[in-house]
Amino acid sequence: MGGIDIAVVCHQGLGSSLWLKIQVEKIIAKYEIPAYVFQVDMDGLTGRNPDIAVGVNYLGDRLEKMSQTVIVVSNVLDDELEEKLLDNSVIKGIRERADK
Amino acid sequence: MTFQFASETGFIIAMITFIGLIVQRKSLSFVLESTVKVIIGYIILQFGANLAVHQLTEVTLLLERMFSLKGIMPNNEMIVGISQWFYGKLIGSIMVVGMVLHLFIARFTKWKYIFLTGHHILYMASLLAGIMAGVNIPFVFQVLFGSIVLALTMSFFPAICQPMMDRIMPEHKVAIGHFGSVGYFLSGWLSGRIFGRKHASETDRHKIPSLNILTNPNMVIAMFMLLFFLIVALIAGTQEFSNSIGNENVFIYAVTYSFQFTAAVYIIIVGVRMLLSEVLTSFQGIADKFVPNAIPALDSPMIFPTNPTAVVIGFSFSLIGGLVGMFVLIYLKMNVVLPAVIAHFLSGGAAGVFGFYSGGFRGAALGSFVHGLFITFLPILLLPVMFQLGYTQTTFSESDFGIVGLIVYYVMEGVSWLLWRIV
């Protein structure tokens, strides 16, 4: 469908990542960004190589190596997530193409 | 083992997912994909449970043969996986009805919490099914009572932690939705009582400690199991150990079993994730429309960024509490509860944060130590309560499961005793 893959990551890929998934899905719906969002744990991320990986900062720097671009939020509740998503290079690219 | 999924949790949740996504007018391919994912997730969960039981038996048999100790290994994923064989239908029904009732509680009472930690809803439903199955009443009533209790726990436990949560994350309206709440409450309350809140403003002067290894549960479980086998070998003598496992090499045996054990738990987690992801997303979507001013109740790691040092203190002291508890049990020659490392991290860490915000770092240490003792002794009481499942030597690792299990069990005992008198 030409969308991008966004991985939402947490400790076990069960709890906090679900809330991240809900938030990310809301944002991509709001800005009509074609994307597929999936929940995953750190080990499950190996080999998946999503376009963007979103996680909370307590996961440490391990997240950095796992994906093309990484978004680390310090808090799952702030508007930080929306700003950082829109600021992401992959998202910017896809929105520019859509505008043309 | 048979897969009768037509009447079980997987099928019930698949149907709910299917209906939920159709109502939300998702594309047909997305609906089909998600529904198939749910059923496959459920089958994966069952495969994992099958493996896990094998590993678990190995551990408990070893303890019995070497030291004549009865070992209990609390692990949510395992007990939930095993429960599916016995009460799949009951678990799925309690879960779905309970979630609907929970929405009504949030809509019509002052408890506005929406409990979004899906795997804990599944675990609590499994616990309640395990208890209800032992009560001699018709299936419909088992579902009814079970789901009422489930809905209440999903609202009540976030509510008792809310005053403390407001101190931990004052700038957000958010609740904690994790069934370790009694432990957190205890930690926060004790620490506030003893040290007082004047220390709670201690700033986190230290560099944020690296949680890197701790954030990988596979690593933590594998290392813990390896250590466990090696300590057993050390105490019993390698020759003894080797004899009791059929003259295998002790080290190879230890490595093989600890890694297989970790893999089995991981398989169950993957299954649970596939089973619940879509359902919970729809659940939140419905709650958003149905409940004005809803407060999301989220998983415990959500509060970890507020004070990572308290998390590390919490994990360490909770684990120490678990070890102390274990040695006390060995000394008393009772059933021995092995520390549930993951629970000591996820719940112990949160207990540390609660302790910190009530009484500073000393409070975090004391609170989480007590929390560690608490989740070590509760499983002993809980084990006999779980109808039919007692022999598996595993049980729930977090505090609320123990508390709810015991209360519901004795209340239901009383109710059925009364019924027998009257009828």
Rounded mean pLDDT, B55-69: 80
Residue partners of B42: CB distance under 8 A and separation at least 6: B5, B8, B9, B10, B11, B13, B14, B84, B271, B274, B275
Q: Is the pLDDT of residue B181 over 90?
A: yes
- β-bridge pairing A4-10 and A35-41: parallel
Other beta carbons less than 10 A from residue B406's beta carbon: 15
Q: Is ipTM over 0.90? A: no
Q: B317-332 pLDDT, tens per residue?
A: 999 999 999 999 988 8
What span, in angstroms and rounded, lies between the C-alpha atoms of B90 and B96? Answer: 10
Choose the mutation target among B299, B342, B347 for the interface with A, i.e. most A CBs under 10 Å: B299
Please list every residue in chain A whose beta carbon sits closer than 8 Å to the beta carbon of residue B270: 44
pLDDT score recorded for residue B351: 96
CA distance A24 to chain B (A): 11
Q: Is the pLDDT of residue B390 over 80?
A: no
Residue B186 is predicted with a pLDDT of 95
**Among A92, A80, A60, residue whose Cα is nearest residue A20:** A80
The string of pLDDT tens digits covering residues A44-53 is 888 788 899 9
Per-residue CA distances from B366 to B201, B209, B341 (Å): 17, 20, 18
pTM of structure: 0.90
| Smallest CA–CA distance from B267 into chain A, residue | A44
- Segment B281-286 shows an average pLDDT of 86
Q: Which of A63-77, B39-53, B259-273 has the lowest mean pLDDT?
A: A63-77
State mean pLDDT over A28-34. 89
**In terms of pLDDT, which residue wins out, B236 or B316?**
B316
pLDDT at B87 over 90: no
User: What are B91-103's pLDDT values in tens digits?
Assistant: 999 999 999 999 9
* A42: closest CA of chain B, how far (Å): 7
Least confident of A42-46, B20-24, B391-395: B391-395
Min Cα–Cα distance to chain A from B62, Å: 29
Residue B136 dihedral angles phi and psi, to the nearest 5°:
-85, 70
In angstroms, what CA-CA distances link B190 with A68, B346, B354, B364?
46, 20, 10, 10
* pLDDT exceeds cutoff 90 at A90: no
Residue of B199, B180, B104 lying closest to B351 (CA atoms): B180
Tens-place pLDDT, residues B141-159: 999 999 999 999 999 999 9
Cα dihedral A59→A61→A63→A69 (10° resolution): 130
State the average pLDDT for chain B: 86
Whether B370 contacts B186, CB under 8 Å: yes
Model confidence at B200, pLDDT cuts 50, 70, 90, reads: low
- Between the two ends of chain A, the Cα-to-Cα distance in Å is 18
pLDDT digits (tens, 9 = 90+) for B125-140: 999 998 888 888 888 9
CA B35 to chain centre: 25
A93–chain B nearest CA distance, Å: 25
Q: Is residue A84 within 8 angstroms of chain B, CB to CB?
A: no
pLDDT at A1: 47
Cα–Cα nearest to B110, from B311, B374, B291: B291
Q: Which of A41, A59, A76 sits opposite B302 (nearest CB)?
A: A76
State the average pLDDT over residues B165-189. 92
Edge to edge, the sheet with strand A69-73 lists A35-41, A4-10, A52-56, A69-73
A8 → chain B, closest CA residue: B277
pLDDT at B241 over 80: no
Interface test with A, best of B178, B208, B302 (most A CBs within 10 A): B302
- What is the C-alpha to C-alpha distance for residues B260 and B317, in angstroms, rounded to an integer? 28
The pLDDT score that the predictor gives to residue B138 is 86
pLDDT at B212 (0 to 100):
62
Residue B325 has what pLDDT? 94
Q: Which member of A12, A57, A77 has the closest CB to residue B217?
A: A12
